[in-house]
Amino acid sequence: METDTGAVQEVTAGDCTDCYYLDVNMYDTEGYGSVYILDDDQPAIIETGLGTNHELILEALDDLGIDRDDLAAIVVTHIHLDHAGGAGFLAEACPNADVYVPAAGAGLLVDPTRLVEGTKNAVGDQWEFYVDPKPVPEDRIVEIEDGDQISLGEHDLRVHGAPGHAFHQVIFEDPANDAVFVGDAAGIWIPETEIITETSPPSDFNLEGCLEDVETLKSVDPDVLLYTHFGPREVGDDAAAALEEYAAILSEWVEAVETKRAELEDDEAVMEYFAETTDKADVWGERKARAEAVMNTRGVLGYLDHRE
């Protein structure tokens, strides 16, 4: 699947209607970061990117004929800045939109100081691709948690807790489209090669929690998985198999890091090993592929430390 940065594309997977997405060229990398728009009675943006290219999202609204004053909802699966970094910018440009944020992390979008500090620690020199997030006014925030529902018209977004990747993560089920906006709960989908791969960033990654999140997704049993990283994926009747594949990949990844740590007895050497051996350079470019490998390795190493 080829993407055109900033171009609005209709989600045609399964029986999806009213759903669109665009590539926001996250980390200057095509095919890594998606933002979705539901064009309903109460239009919604789901996920907001880093903030650096938020103008592309506003232009997408224009292309779809959605007036910025009519946008009703800005919705994020969690507050990691590759998902929520654009929320404040979009809220400023779309003055009537509520910003729906998992309750566990909502305060960090009102005052993002600690969020920025934690992100810099997690992403290292990738911070150059970010922008300092604009605080979201507290009176614009709607806190959400497991069991809530966001009504948009023909489409509802049912909230399911999914705290394995991050304690503040949820996923959104859209029953009308038999689809789920998965955040990072189902890994990273690479449509170019039709490969699913791990995501395990510091500092909240928890393997057991992630595997529980996979079970949550299996219980929903959607026809379509809408990945922030990256794009729509039709799984049809094979949702359980696709999700079990990710659970196996994630478990094997953690085991590989644990084994290499025991062998090398040096965490810096472990991170360098996985940076050197990544097979994603042909997809994302060498710099992003190496940085992703280092970040995911650090997340697993932290998880192993807390597990012991």
Local confidence pLDDT in tens for the 308 residues of the chain:
456 778 999 999 999 999 999 999 999 999 999 999 999 999 999 999 999 999 999 999 999 999 999 999 999 999 999 999 999 999 999 999 999 999 999 999 999 999 999 999 889 899 999 999 999 999 999 999 999 999 999 999 999 999 999 999 999 999 999 999 999 999 999 999 999 999 999 989 999 999 999 999 999 999 999 999 999 999 999 999 999 999 999 999 999 999 999 999 999 999 999 999 999 999 999 999 999 999 999 999 999 999 86
Per DSSP, 5 falls in state T
Domain 7-242 = CATH 2.170.190.11: no
CA distance 2 to 254: 31
Q: Give the model's pLDDT for residue 2.
A: 54
Reported as a single tens digit per residue, the pLDDT across 23-66 is: 999 999 999 999 999 999 999 999 999 999 999 999 999 999 99
Q: Give the model's pLDDT for residue 308.
A: 66
Residue type, 192: E
Own/partner long-range contacts of 206-212 (Cβ < 8 Å, ≥24 apart): 206/163, 206/164, 206/303, 207/164, 207/250, 207/251, 207/254, 207/303, 208/164, 209/163, 209/164, 209/165, 210/164, 210/165, 210/185, 210/247, 210/250, 211/164, 211/247, 211/250, 211/251, 212/164
Ranges of each domain in the chain: 7-242
Reported as a single tens digit per residue, the pLDDT across 175-221 is: 999 999 999 999 999 999 999 999 999 989 999 999 999 999 999 99
Strand partners, 23: 34
Quick one: which of 41, 37, 62, 63 has its CA closest to 181? Answer: 37
Q: Give the model's pLDDT for residue 5.
A: 78
Q: Report in angstroms the alpha-carbon separations of 277 from 40, 259, 273.
A: 45, 15, 6
